[in-house]
Amino acid sequence: MAQERSAAIVGIHEYPLRVAPGVSAMDIKIDSIRAALDDAGLSWGDIDAVYDAGDGEAGGGLQLSAYLGLRPRVIDTTQVGGSSFEFQAAHAWRDIAAGRCRVAILSYGSTSASNRVAIGTGSMRAMGGAGNWQSNMELPYGSTLIANYALVKQRHMHEYGTTTEQLAGISVATRRHAMRNPDAVRAMTDLEFVGVNEITAQDVLESRIVADPLHLLECCMISDGGGALVIASPEVARDARKPPVWIIGSGEATKYRENGGDITTSAGAQSGPAAFGQAGVSPDEIDIAMIYDSFTITVAVCLEDLGFCAKGEVGEFAAGDRLAFDRPGLALNTDGGGLSSNHPGMRGIFLLLESVRQLRGESHSQVPGARLAVAHGNGGSLGGTHTGGTVILAKD
C-alpha cells in the first residue's frame, strides 16, 4: 500500500568524536544541530519546533530554545531513556502532519566517557541513589543495570536453549560493520579496546564475564558523542539539499515488572506491530534494522518482538554472520552499533541517523537498493521498567 508522506528527515549529523575531552555536552548538541541544518540546506530561523530529552546541560526544550534564541511553536521534552528519540521523531511527525510546525530539531550530547560515568556497572547505591518506590526491592541488594540484562539472557537461555555462541553473531556482525566506519575505528582506538579488529564468535566466548552470562564483547562501550536531525514538512522536504527520508509508521509502548510476567518479552512486542501496521509493511520487507544494542540480549529480544523471527528462535536467526550488510536478508546496526561504534548513554538518535544514511546510500556498510528501515529504541531497563519506540522509515 502507498504510505502517506507527511514528514521527512531532511538533515542529519553525528558528532565524530567518541572521546572529546574539554568539550561540553552542549557544545556537541549545538555543533550537531548546526551541521544537521547545513545538511538540510536550512537555517536557524527555519526552526519552529524543539524536541529535547533534557540531556547534558541543555536543561530541556525551554532552556535549549533560550540558549539558541528560538521561539518555537512546539516544545516536546519527552524523556523515556534510550528510546526518547524514537518517541520524539514520532511526535514531530504527528505535529508536522497536524500543521503545528514545519521544521523540528532533535539533538543529543553526552560526555559519559570523559566524565567516567559508570553506565550499567555502577550500582545505584554507589552512585548516591536513594531508596524509593521504584528501587526498594533492588537497591538494598546492590543490583546493577547490567545484572538485570544478565537475568534476561539467563532466562532466554533457560527457556529456549539459546546459546552465547549464537548470540555472538550480533557482536560479530556489528564489529564487522564498525571496522568499515572510520569514526567507529577511532572510537575503539581512543577507548583503548583490546583488539581493534573484526572478531569471531570464539572471541566473544573467550572474553571475560562481566555479569554472568554476559561477556565483555556482548556489552556496549561507554563513549562521548551525540548528534542531531531535522524533520520537516513535505513542502520543506522537497526543497531540501538531500533526498528526504520519510517517516511512515511509529509505535510507542511501556513495559514493567509484574508477577508472572515474561522478562524475555520487551515493549517492542507492542510498539513494533503498531509501527508496521501504520506503515503498511511487514518485517520481511525491511532492509535495515537499527536495534538498540546496549547488550546482545537487548537486540535478540527486540528482533523477536518486532517480528523478524519467532519468540525463542533468535539464536538461529542471529548465528554466524547472517546479519552482516553483504548477506541476503536483514542487515543489523550497520554503523557498528553501541557494541562497537558509540554509546554515550542514550543511543536512540544514532539508530535514526544510520537509518537515514542507509536510505540515502551514504553508509560505510551500504546495503544495495535499501528502501525500508526500522529504528527501534529500548529505554530504561530490559526485563524491568522500560519503553519501546519503533519508527519505520522509507526512501523517497
C-alpha cell at 223: 563513549
Q: Give me the pLDDT at residue 127, please.
A: 46
Give the N- to C-terminal CA distance of the chain in Å, as an integer: 15
Please state the rounded mean pLDDT for residues 268-289: 98
| Whole-angstrom distance, CA of residue 179 vs CA of residue 361 | 18
Of all residues in the chain, what percent carry a pLDDT higher than 90? Answer: 85
Q: What is the pLDDT of residues 302-361, one digit of tens each?
A: 999 999 999 999 999 999 889 999 999 999 999 999 999 999 999 999 999 999 999 999
Render pLDDT for 96-120 as a digit per residue (tens, 0 to 9): 999 999 999 999 999 999 988 777 6
Q: Which residue has the cell 528502501?
A: 371
Q: Does 183 map to a domain?
A: no
Of 142, 125, 172, which is closest to residue 339 (Cα–Cα)?
A: 172
Higher pLDDT, 263 or 130: 263
Distance CA 24, CA 109 (A): 8
- Whether 169 is covered by a domain: the verdict is no
CATH number at 352 reads: 3.40.47.10
The whole-number average pLDDT for the span 6-24 is 96
Q: Specify if 140 maps to a domain.
A: no
How many domains does the structure of the chain reveal?
A: 1
Whether residue 125 is contained in a domain is answered as: no
pLDDT digits (tens, 9 = 90+) for 279-301: 999 999 999 999 999 999 999 99
Q: Is residue 166 part of a domain?
A: no
Give the number of other Cβ atoms within 10 Å of residue 71's Cβ: 10
1 pLDDT band (50/70/90 cuts)? very low
Task: Give residue-wise pLDDT tens across range 162-219.
Answer: 999 999 999 999 999 999 999 999 999 999 999 999 999 999 999 999 999 999 999 9
Write the pLDDT tens digit of every residue in 59-71.
Answer: 788 899 999 999 9
Residues 6+ apart with CB under 8 A from 368: none
pLDDT of 276 strictly over 90? yes
Residue 37 is which amino acid? L
Expressed as residue numbers, the domain containing 348 is 8-115+222-395
Q: Residue 155 domain-assigned? A: no
CA distance 154 to 143: 16
Report pLDDT for 124.
46
Q: Would 132 be classed as within a structural domain?
A: no
Q: Is residue 253 part of a domain?
A: yes
